[in-house]
Structure 1
């Protein structure tokens, strides 16, 4: 390979991995009818004059499959945490017991499960688009390399490597989506 080559496969791979990480975080926030501490991760509380993640104002536990508890450390924040959960759009009705907030996870009905699989599909499509955008950036780098005197053999080699990287990440997105949809539809 020539010294002039401007294609950074490691950077492209890192950016595609970032899209996968983002997808996993979005999937973790989807309610599947099973309790998970990651359900409350996106929720922030107005605490001490700043928006603070819920796991920084209390201990989040999953004592049983259909229950998440949050043990709020500061008694003065209990009502703010409860309000943040109600306004989060999780669709869960928090129950208070002193400084402990209990979140009972209701069973999902068939219609809600189907809606959630569609949302998971949208998250996956957004990840695919992000991966394709990274691929496009790689191909633009390849065109610049062509203008800088890169041989056709080198171009073909880089093109194939970028495409293989893209295909591998798209396949990982599809696998993750399939797994998440099965998890959602599981009764």
Structure 2
């Protein structure tokens, strides 16, 4: 399976990116994995910019989305919502439809419960509006994992959960 991981964080040194890299590394034994880290480089979506033509970095992401069998998004929660960079990406994809019917797994990765719950609900609404095929959802917390020298170590229960999801 070809799995694309996208961090919804606006930070280049995001714990969401590190979490996705840990999941991708674990799954890479049996699947093709890629962690995309570039949403913060996207120009702000406006209808005028869309009419002027799709920017190259967005076309590159669209190609990756088309080729993915599954997209796993991880987002923090900013002010009880998803970060602006993630919403901006969704706006750029609305007309082109790469998420239509695409299997997606939206997750949050935040410091501790209950953070992430509002962002996940908001994100699901946006994904449903684009007719994405949401296969499941999950909230994860930094307290669920071990962090060693800036790397995230996944516990067995998270590995088992992802193995189970990929069997669907």
TM-score (norm 2): 0.28
More helix by share: 1
TM-score (norm 1): 0.26
Greater RCO, CA 8 A, separation 6+? 1
Q: State the structure with more CA Rg.
A: 1
More strand by share: 2
